[in-house]
Amino acid sequence: MPIPNLVAAAASVVAVAVLPRATAKTYSPLFVKTFVSQHKLATSYKSISRRRTQRITGKVTKPAALRPRKNKKAMAQLGAAGPGIENMPPDMPFRVNLNNRVMCPDCREKPPNIVEEGAEMLCGSCGLVLQDRLISSESEWRTFNSDDSRGADPNRVGDADNDLLTGSNVGTQIGGRFGSGATRKLQMTQSKLQGNKQDSKLQQGYARIQTWAETLKIPPGTSQLAKRYYMSVAESPAFRGKNMDAVLAGCLFIACRQHKVPRSFAEIFGTTSVPKKEIGRMYKQLERHLKHLADDQIEHLKNQGLSTAGSGYTGTKTTRPQDMVERICNQLGLKPRSIVQYAIHLAKETAGIQDLAGRSPLSTASACIYMAAHLVGEPRSYKDISKFANVSDATIKQAYKKLYEARADVVLPTWTKPDGSPVNMDLLPPSFAATVVGAGPAGLATVGNLLAQRLSPVLWVDPLFSSGRINQSYREVPSNTKVSLFVDFARAVKPFRDVIESTPAPNPISRLQQLDQDQHCALGNAADMCRTLTDGLVKRDDVAKVETTDIHLDVALTPTKLQTAISPSESATVAVIGSSHSAILAILNLYNLATTSHPKLRIKWFSRSPLVYAVPKDDWILYDNTGLKGLAATWARDHLEDDTLQSSHANRYIEKVSLPARESFTSSPALSQCSHIVQAIGYAPNPLPSLTVDGAPLPALPAHNPHTGAFNDQNGRPLPGLYGAGIAWPESVTDPAGNVESAVGLYKFMKFLLRVVPEWGKTLN
């Protein structure tokens, strides 16, 4: 080695003498021998050999620190200590840095913060494992002599035999994860010449099983069993040419069932990407093979006169819903142990429910958890459960629908909540296929057609269930419809015909049939027909009737009127729909009633979006027209945000029902528990009076221009002298952030009119 290269290396080694032990071990004894001989250091090759002998006998355990002699001239030639040739004087010629430097590929720190401990090399900064199962460069001798004997009794030790491999574990391999390109080529060449192909194939399969097991959180013992199954089938002629991933997935699935660590085909498929049908076919083939191997082993043991206990293979059974319950509950964070116990009981009982017996165990277990959580008072939504069960929320709804129908047979009357109070099945959310609001002729026809299509059960909501306004206001109005069409309406769908057949005559339908079918009649006859059909439908088991009282938003915003709209002694649950400024004020007024004069009042707040607050900027306000301000904003921050509602006193009276972005509140099961409804999701302007142009009525409602206040006819032409402003016809504005809003407010109306009235005046003069 040329002298200049050694001078550069010497500077590195002097620095290594004070670095951590892990870095110092990267230099070989041969390098140290050459280095000390060239630079006349105190440590010589003889001393290195002597020290090695001392280390073998256990007299020395710490690495040697190389120290140069106190020779100022020699030290001046070495230069400053540093990590390599980077710190050499600038007049030195360029040379390639041949140091093998270990560096974390993520942090790339200089100098690297390398920690070597427990046969692993780690990055001390980020924790990345750089190398594992390191072979120590220290002595591999161990002393196993007794305490009474004298003298050294060194014995060589090595790695334990791996019974999952066919070949011997003894051998030498070219290692080095951070080696150069030449090193990797040597590794590949050695693997081709000396490698055991069978073991290489097994190790690839073991690595894949281990990865899947860690993803599915399968215990080590179960993954080890899966590896043993794979070893037994890897060289079997029956599995040659088969999809390796399918074989590995089948082995893992059988191991899970053998160790009672339930995993479904869907979960295995989601992790391995092997189709469920292929896993199923491979599972059956593996079961037959393992059973055959076990029978051969038993026959061999019998021939040898040995015991056959524990040598048989027990076929796996179908995963049951109760096997899945506890794991899903743990993932959902359901703490009350009673939820798990009740859900397991429900899952066992589903075996006797015909519509649930053949369903996926995951969907059945999810439905049982949904019911148990609601019974105990720790409800979880379909969406929450579906995330951990890997089942769609629609599938869980269908399973829960069947479970809900059998609730009286599967729920025990002795069940209690964590506080000791008995569970109440009446508080279980019913599972409805549809919710119909309104019991007028249109609502009646909707329910009839839903039932005819077997879309049930149906939640039907109306204040009176009395045929709507046709019965309340228009009974004496002559119809412009022939009697025959009313009769056709009554017999249009089977649910209506069933009501007619079960209603004794005479009834409103039979009286209609006695009239002249080509003539007209008073609307009262049609109203009585609708009332009869309504009364018949609400008696069905698949129709849930909910009578609710609509509280007008104006009443909800006026505390004195709201106080008289609900009886103080009434157990009322008011649904408030929306997250607008008006909705928050309505909730505040209801909360004040509940905490004072109406102790039985409760509020269900239906919301599809988070609360939005007005944000003052330099010279404008973000969400000026749609964001919460003033009292509503302050109270909402303190009591209605997700992180404050749970700890607020308002939590005793207010329950938030979060809805998906495009889902209507009418589809929520929570609506069936409400007796009153306040809707604060939009503003309907008062209708315009009859308008004419040149004495002729307008053929269509004019379109309002939100920028000028003018109206245009159906051809887009302005209607002179017709303008609109105010809350019914607000100005449309765009703030600096690009948000388009309607400008509502007294001064905003004034600003708009100051700008547009001069233009209006040109056509009004």
pLDDT digit string (tens) for 212-258? 888 888 888 888 888 888 888 887 878 877 888 888 888 888 888 88
At residue 23, the pLDDT reads 41
What is the extent of the structural domain holding 659? 549-679
Q: 368 and 415: one domain?
A: yes
Average pLDDT over residues 665-679: 77
Look at residue 405 and tell me if it is in a domain.
Answer: yes
| Residues 496 and 568 occupy one common structural domain | no
Q: How far apart are CA 170 and CA 294, in angstroms?
A: 31
Domain boundary among 53, 72, 101: 101
Residue 268 host element (H or E): helix 265-272
pTM greater than the 0.85 cutoff: no
pLDDT reading at 426 higher than 70? no
Looking at 14-23, 268-277, 405-414, 638-647, which range is the least confident one? 14-23
**Are residue 563 and residue 604 in the same domain, yes or no?**
yes
State how far the Cα of 498 lies from the Cα of 279, in Å rounded to an integer.
49
Q: Do 563 and 618 sit in the same domain of this protein?
A: yes
DSSP H/E element including 622 = strand 621-622
Instruction: Assess whether 563 and 645 both reside in one domain.
Output: yes
Residues in the chain: 765
Higher-pLDDT residue of 494 and 657 is 494
Q: How far apart are CA 510 and CA 529, in angstroms?
A: 9
| Residues 540 and 553 occupy one common structural domain | no
DSSP 358-402: TS-HHHHHHHHHHHHHHHHT----HHHHHHHHT--HHHHHHHHHH
Q: How confident is the model at residue 344 (pLDDT cuts 50, 70, 90)?
A: very high
Q: What is the mean pLDDT of residues 475-504?
A: 92
Q: Please indicate, yes or no, whether residues 610 and 526 belong to a single structural domain of this protein.
A: no
Domain count, the chain: 6
The residue among 31, 26, 176, 19 whose CA lies nearest residue 83 is 19
Give domain status of residue 173, yes or no: no
Q: Could you give the CA distance from residue 241 to residue 665 in angstroms, rounded to a whole number?
A: 55
Q: CB neighbours of 108 closer than 8 A, spacing ≥ 6?
A: none
What is the pLDDT confidence band of residue 528, given thresholds at 50, 70 and 90? very high
Instruction: Give the pLDDT score at 218.
Output: 87
Report the C-alpha gap between 353 and 405 in whole angstroms.
Answer: 10
State the chain's mean pLDDT as an integer: 78
Task: Give the confidence band of 190 by pLDDT, cuts at 50, 70, 90.
Answer: confident
Q: Is residue 184 part of a domain?
A: no
Dihedral pair phi/psi, residue 734, rounded to 5°:
-125, 120
- From 375, 406, 427, the end of a domain falls on 427
Structure tokens of 242?
Answer: 């088969």
User: What's the N-to-C CA distance of the chain in angstroms?
Assistant: 107
Q: What is the pLDDT of residues 69-126, one digit of tens each?
A: 444 444 444 444 444 444 555 566 666 666 667 788 888 888 888 888 767 888 888 7
Assess whether 579 and 491 both reside in one domain: no
Rounded Cα gap, residues 279 and 268, in angstroms: 8
Tally of CA atoms within 13 A in the half-sphere of 414 that contains its CB = 2
Q: What is the mean pLDDT of residues 565-581?
A: 89
**Percent of the chain's residues with pLDDT above 70:** 74
Look at residue 463 and tell me if it is in a domain: yes
pLDDT of res. 293: 79
State how far the Cα of 170 lies from the Cα of 158, in Å rounded to an integer: 8
Residue 514: inside a domain, yes or no?
yes
H/E element, 460:
strand 458-462
The reported pLDDT for the residue numbered 119 is: 73
Q: Are residues 204 and 294 in the same domain?
A: yes
CA 453, CA 472: separation in Å to the nearest integer?
30
On whether both 531 and 553 belong to a single domain, the answer is no
Residue 465 in contact with residue 547, Cβ under 8 Å?
yes
Same domain, 270 and 347: no
Domain membership of residue 169 (yes or no) is: no
Residues 6+ away with beta carbon under 8 Å from 618: none
* Residue-wise pLDDT tens digits, 597-630: 999 999 999 988 889 999 998 888 888 888 898 9
Residues 562 and 674 in one domain: yes
Q: What pLDDT, on the 0 to 100 scale, is given for residue 310?
A: 54
CA–CA gap between residue 558 and residue 553 (Å, rounded): 9
Q: Is position 592 within any domain?
A: yes
| pLDDT over 60 at 454, yes or no | yes
The share of the chain scoring above pLDDT 90, in percent, equals 17
Answer whether residue 15 is part of any domain: yes
Instruction: Over range 730-754, report the average pLDDT.
Output: 85
Cα maximum dimension of the chain: 131
Mean pLDDT of 531-556: 86
Residues 318, 283: contact at Cβ < 8 Å?
A: no
Domain boundary among 427, 456, 490: 427
Instruction: Convert the pLDDT of each residue in 654-671 to its tens digit.
Output: 998 887 766 667 667 677
Encoded tokens for 196? 């055991």
588 pLDDT above the threshold of 90: yes
